[in-house]
């Protein structure tokens, strides 16, 4: 069955070859490397976080996205404590695909608080694969960059004729913010049926930075009266979250089917860089998946449904009484989807993947009137009223091996994206709401239904030059239709617009129903030099994208109908911006390297280094793109000995002073160095982790943290009298934190 061996994952193949041929390394109890696997050649992924590296990153971590911290080119836009937004090579959020067990969920919140990885605790993750600049069309759609494929794993069954009960229980604690967490997973299975429960819960207070960064100004009228936060406390970073899931799976021969019901309850998650805090996120998801093996190949099918209720208001650190009480904002959505994908073995050297998928996303976003408020009553403000995005998509992808060292893949996908919405209205407060009324009419009188035809094409070639060199090159055209908020959020009034913001920069945004889809033309490649065993390795991965109709935002003067881009930009404050199509380019390079240092009687020492440089420019304005990570690198020294897996991590990040987004008044941040220590020991059933993050209690600002809005009078765009929040303060990172985690398998 040569076609079977062709189907073997290149990564697994590379690893098995590498370690079969590496007796020095294989002498230890396990041959698995303690770092991100970057040795894979296309088309599994550019990097895979699994095994020991995943276990180390999971320890005392509540934010699933950050499990990818050692993947070069991946950085994190600050969000809530459990919901940072991954950024790959300058592209984030809807611009990349983020799949969790095959579902790319649409964030339902005017601040994108509930991104796909916020629905899963790190303890449930079994692997994360990262495609950086482009992905096979079989992996993702309606995006212009790479993809993150996160998996909670396939169902567990017992050996033939047997049964099993297995599971894991874990506990964690972090000192800086009293971050407490627990998780439990139990599976009962025979050789044909498997039932699994997983649950996790965690909470934390506000964290503190390495030193004071605000003056301890009083916030009046919070839910607990007038309040002063300590100068080193980063306001609005506390949270509590619970995720649970039950999965029932059946297996017969080559066929497995699983129904998983998962639900999330976040009673509060405060937001340091948004004007509102999350006061509720209740999600229910049903995910039915089928995996089948046939003579001709593999078949996967999936159907899912998700219902979400999301609410926001001002949390404990922000002013609540104005003097009217609060500002409720509600979002709900229903998402249904189905996918089918076949991997067909055409010959010993050719594989065809083909499939279809469909997703229907329905969104309501409304803000109830506030009693005794002059501006926020008497009507319900309809931010998005019955928004609908429906995607229908088909693809075909041919993978061909020309000789043992040369393999290519060509894929084409067509997606039809239909978007529509219903009529809207503002708070209806009469004369004072004149701008709101004009803006609402402008949207209502516009055509509110649009079709986008996305044609994606990806061509990839990988080449094994020798035992010591290999490379790959990829070319792609990738298209993304604008999301419902980019199209249909409509109010240019500053108080409304600042509630619509995905990026955490404190500005106000409103939509543009005439937006076109953005189309990226991308080239990326990689060349690796390594020993035959791949223990010494260095890999350079350059990339370039030109994005036609890139959806950026410009400062706006006037209302939606008669206003225009501001003739003169207003620096040094928060402003109202409107989404517009412009053009942009992004370029850069990732470097990855690894080497053994020593093999001693105290264990094996090795080093892994990674580096990323990304450049992003808006070609119309000439300014930088927002939230592009400055030059950064990491050096990880790892130590393995018996049950020990230890890591010292050195992080260096350059300042972010150049190529800022001038339209958004992006805040510059200084460079910094951080050091983290991570130690772990495992017996056969028990694992203990302990470590110190930011061991020198270094004070630093997070380059992708946006604007500090963690306390004060956040309903005002630029509060008068110097009251917080004023433009210009970035969001500090966490100071020193000791952590420990205990995990027991049974």
Whole-number Cα distances in Å, 80 to 126, 343, 358 = 23, 39, 30
Residue burial 661-699, b: 16+ Cβ < 10 Å; e: rest:
bebbbbbebebbebebebbbebeeeebbbbbbbbbeebb
- CB 396 to Cu ion: min, Å: 38
Q: Which is nearer to Cu ion, 60 or 113 (CB)?
A: 113
Nearest to 118 by CA among 147, 154, 76: 76
Q: Which is nearer to Cu ion, 109 or 233 (CB)?
A: 109
- CB 278 to Cu ion: min, Å: 5
Q: Which is nearer to Cu ion, 496 or 663 (CB)?
A: 496
* Segment interacting with Cu ion, rule: CB under 5 A, options 60-68, 309-317, 430-438, 615-623: 309-317
SS3 18: helix
Q: Which is nearer to Cu ion, 111 or 627 (CB)?
A: 111
* Segment interacting with Cu ion, rule: CB under 5 A, options 308-316, 546-554, 572-580, 610-618: 308-316
d(CA 355, CA 353): 7
Nearest-Å Rg of the Cα atoms of the chain is 25
Q: Specify which residues 548 forms β-bridges with.
A: 519
**Which residue in the set 109, 134, 241, 520 belongs to the binding site for Cu ion (CB under 5 A)?**
109
Verify binding: residue 111, Cu ion, rule CB under 5 A: yes
Q: Which is nearer to Cu ion, 331 or 462 (CB)?
A: 331
Q: Which is nearer to Cu ion, 79 or 355 (CB)?
A: 79
Q: Which of residues 18-57 bind Cu ion (CB under 5 A)?
A: none
- CB 240 to Cu ion: min, Å: 16
Q: SS3 for 462-504, per residue?
A: EEECCCCEEEEEEEEEEEECCCHHHHHCCCCCHHHHCCCCCCC
Whole-number Cα distances in Å, 497 to 82, 285, 379, 507, 624 = 25, 31, 18, 8, 23
Q: If you count them, how many residues does the chain have?
A: 746
Q: Which is nearer to Cu ion, 312 or 391 (CB)?
A: 312
* Segment interacting with Cu ion, rule: CB under 5 A, options 306-314, 362-370, 445-453, 723-731: 306-314
- CB 142 to Cu ion: min, Å: 22
CB 283, CB 245: distance < 8 Å: no
What's phi and psi for 82, nearest 5 deg?
-110, 15
- CB 331 to Cu ion: min, Å: 7
Nearest to 392 by CA among 429, 437, 447, 338: 338
- CB 604 to Cu ion: min, Å: 46
8-state DSSP, 111:
T
Q: Which is nearer to Cu ion, 335 or 458 (CB)?
A: 335
How many residues form the binding site for Cu ion (CB under 5 A)? 4
- CB 429 to Cu ion: min, Å: 24
Helical spans, DSSP H, in 82-166? none
Nearest to 358 by CA among 310, 316, 304: 304
d(CA 502, CA 253): 46
- CB 176 to Cu ion: min, Å: 25
Q: Which of residues 173-232 bind Cu ion (CB under 5 A)?
A: none
**Which residue in the set 38, 113, 141, 144 belongs to the binding site for Cu ion (CB under 5 A)?**
113
SS3 647: strand
8-state DSSP, 321:
B
* Segment interacting with Cu ion, rule: CB under 5 A, options 7-15, 305-313, 378-386, 674-682: 305-313
- CB 419 to Cu ion: min, Å: 21
Q: Which is nearer to Cu ion, 107 or 146 (CB)?
A: 107
In terms of Cβ atoms closer than 10 Å to its own Cβ (0-12, 13-18, 19+), residue 603 is: middle
- CB 94 to Cu ion: min, Å: 16
* Segment interacting with Cu ion, rule: CB under 5 A, options 111-119, 425-433, 567-575, 586-594: 111-119
* Segment interacting with Cu ion, rule: CB under 5 A, options 33-41, 107-115, 184-192, 621-629: 107-115
Neighbour count for residue 462 (Cβ, 10 Å): 21
Q: Which is nearer to Cu ion, 108 or 584 (CB)?
A: 108
- CB 65 to Cu ion: min, Å: 17
SS3 11: helix
CB 424, CB 443: distance < 8 Å: yes
* Segment interacting with Cu ion, rule: CB under 5 A, options 113-121, 373-381, 482-490, 578-586: 113-121
Q: Which is nearer to Cu ion, 112 or 353 (CB)?
A: 112
- CB 136 to Cu ion: min, Å: 32
CB 484, CB 383: distance < 8 Å: no
Q: Which is nearer to Cu ion, 280 or 671 (CB)?
A: 280
**Which residue in the set 78, 312, 438, 715 belongs to the binding site for Cu ion (CB under 5 A)?**
312
- CB 333 to Cu ion: min, Å: 12
**Residue 703 backbone zone (phi > 0: left; psi -120 to 50: alpha; other: beta):** alpha
Query: What is the H or E stretch that residue 546 is in?
Result: strand 537-557
Q: Which is nearer to Cu ion, 77 or 111 (CB)?
A: 111
Q: Which is nearer to Cu ion, 120 or 308 (CB)?
A: 308
Q: Which is nearer to Cu ion, 113 or 440 (CB)?
A: 113
* Segment interacting with Cu ion, rule: CB under 5 A, options 79-87, 311-319, 576-584, 615-623: 311-319
d(CA 242, CA 42): 36
By beta carbon distance, the residue nearest Cu ion is 109
- CB 167 to Cu ion: min, Å: 34
Percentages helix, strand, coil for the chain (3-state, rounded to 5) are 10, 50, 40
The residues near 271 (Cβ < 8 Å, ≥ 6 apart) are 79, 80, 111, 113, 236, 277, 278, 315, 504, 709, 710
- CB 310 to Cu ion: min, Å: 6
Q: Residues interacting with Cu ion, by CB under 5 A?
A: 109, 111, 113, 312
């Amino acid at each position: 069955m040569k076609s079977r061996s062709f189907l073997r994952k290149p990564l697994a193949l590379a690893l098995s070859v590498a370690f079969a041929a590496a007796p020095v390394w294989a002498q230890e109890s396990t041959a698995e490397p303690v770092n991100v696997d970057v040795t894979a050649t296309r088309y599994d992924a550019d990097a895979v976080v699994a095994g020991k590296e995943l276990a180390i990153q999971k320890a005392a971590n509540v934010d699933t996205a950050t499990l990818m911290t050692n993947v070069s080119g991946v950085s994190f836009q600050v969000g809530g404590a459990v919901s940072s937004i991954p950024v790959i090579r300058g592209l984030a959020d809807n611009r990349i695909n983020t799949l969790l067990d095959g579902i790319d969920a649409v964030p339902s919140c005017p601040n994108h608080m509930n991104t796909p990885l916020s629905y899963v605790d790190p303890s449930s993750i079994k692997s994360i694969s990262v495609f950086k600049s482009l992905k096979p069309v079989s992996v993702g759609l309606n995006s212009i960059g790479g993809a993150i494929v996160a998996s909670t794993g396939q169902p567990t069954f017992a050996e033939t004729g047997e049964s099993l009960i297995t599971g894991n229980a874990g506990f964690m604690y972090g000192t800086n913010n009293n971050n407490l967490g627990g998780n439990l997973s139990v599976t009962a299975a025979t050789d044909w049926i498997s039932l699994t429960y997983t649950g996790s819960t965690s909470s934390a207070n506000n964290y503190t930075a390495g030193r004071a960064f605000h003056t301890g100004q009083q916030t009046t009228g919070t839910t607990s009266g007038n309040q002063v936060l300590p100068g080193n406390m980063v306001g609005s970073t506390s949270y509590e979250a619970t995720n649970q899931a039950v999965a029932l799976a059946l297996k017969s021969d080559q066929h497995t089917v699983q129904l998983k019901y998962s639900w999330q309850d976040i009673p509060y998650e405060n937001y340091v860089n948004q004007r509102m805090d999350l006061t509720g996120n209740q999600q229910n998801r049903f995910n039915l998946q089928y995996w089948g093996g046939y003579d001709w190949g593999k078949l996967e099918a999936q159907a899912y449904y998700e219902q979400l209720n999301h609410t926001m208001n001002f949390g404990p650190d922000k002013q609540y009484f104005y003097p009217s009480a609060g500002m409720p904002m509600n979002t709900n959505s229903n998402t249904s989807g189905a996918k089918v994908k076949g991997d067909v073995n055409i010959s010993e050297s050719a594989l065809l993947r083909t499939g279809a998928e469909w997703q229907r996303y329905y969104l309501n976003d409304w803000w109830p009137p506030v009693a005794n408020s002059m501006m926020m009553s008497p009507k319900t403000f309809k931010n998005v009223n019955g928004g609908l995005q429906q995607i229908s998509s088909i693809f075909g992808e041919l993978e061909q091996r020309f000789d043992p060292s040369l393999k290519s893949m060509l894929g084409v996908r067509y997606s039809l994206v239909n978007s529509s919405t219903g009529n809207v209205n503002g708070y209806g407060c009469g004369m004072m709401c004149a701008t709101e009324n004009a803006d609402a009419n402008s949207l209502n009188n516009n055509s509110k239904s649009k079709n986008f035809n996305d044609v994606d094409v990806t061509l990839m070639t990988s080449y094994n030059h020798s035992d010591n060199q290999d490379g790959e090159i990829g070319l792609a055209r990738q298209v993304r239709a604008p999301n419902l908020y980019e199209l249909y959020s409509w109010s240019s009034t500053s108080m409304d617009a600042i509630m619509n913001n995905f990026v955490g920069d404190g500005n106000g945004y409103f939509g543009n129903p005439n937006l076109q889809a953005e189309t990226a033309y991308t080239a990326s490649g990689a060349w690796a030099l390594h020993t035959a065993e791949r223990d010494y390795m260095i890999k350079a991965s350059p990339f370039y994208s030109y994005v036609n109709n890139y959806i950026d935002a410009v400062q706006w003067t006037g209302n939606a109908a008669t206003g225009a881009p501001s003739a003169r930009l207003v620096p040094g404050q928060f402003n109202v911006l409107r989404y517009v199509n412009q053009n942009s380019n992004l370029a850069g390079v990732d470097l990855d390297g690894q080497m053994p240092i020593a093999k001693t009687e105290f264990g094996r020492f090795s080093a892994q280094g990674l580096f990323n440089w990304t450049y992003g420019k808006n070609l119309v304005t000439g300014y930088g793109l927002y939230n592009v990570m400055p030059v950064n690198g990491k050096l990880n020294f790892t130590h393995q000995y018996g049950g020990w897996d230890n890591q010292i991590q050195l992080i260096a990040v350059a300042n972010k002073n150049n190529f800022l987004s001038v339209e958004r008044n992006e805040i510059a941040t200084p460079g910094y160095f951080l050091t983290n220590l991570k130690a772990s020991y495992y017996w056969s059933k028990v694992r203990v982790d302990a470590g110190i993050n930011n061991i020198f209690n270094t004070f630093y600002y997070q380059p992708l943290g946006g604007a500090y809005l963690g306390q004060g009078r956040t309903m005002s765009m630029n509060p008068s009298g110097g009251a917080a929040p004023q433009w210009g303060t970035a969001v500090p990172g966490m100071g020193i934190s000791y952590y420990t985690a205990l995990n027991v398998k049974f």
